[in-house]
Amino acid sequence: MLKRTKVAKSDLVKVTFSLPVSDEKISVVGDFNAWTPGANTLVKRANKTASVSVSVPKGSVLHFRYLGEVSGWFDEPEADAVTAEGSFFTV
């Protein structure tokens, strides 16, 4: 799941990436973190999800994929577009 939240008094938007909780370590990897695995690792929450947020300029188009330690690369079905190159989400 993807969620957009405007950051008060700025031109930034907080994007929250959320998945059902898993036993494996999963990170979101994309152009916003120089495609660095582990830079934005999803954290388990009490509501049985795992999530992480990043703040980016309003109007950005995020290109990203999820990376599971066991399951490997996978995409976000709720993204604006999914191609062979990954998920795309306009903020």
What are the backbone dihedrals phi and psi of residue 35, each rounded to the nearest 5 degrees, phi first? Answer: 55, 45
The domain tally of the chain equals 1
Tens digits of residue pLDDT in 35-77: 999 999 999 999 999 999 999 999 999 999 999 999 999 999 9
Range of the domain at 60: 2-90
The CATH number that applies at residue 66 is 2.60.40.10
Cβ neighbours of residue 75 closer than 8 Å, sequence gap 6 or more: 65, 66, 82, 86, 87
Q: Is residue 82 classed as helix, strand or coil in its secondary structure?
A: strand
Q: What pTM value is reported for the model?
A: 0.93
Cα four-point dihedral sign 56, 4, 53, 8: positive
Q: Is-contact 45 37, C-beta < 8 A? A: no
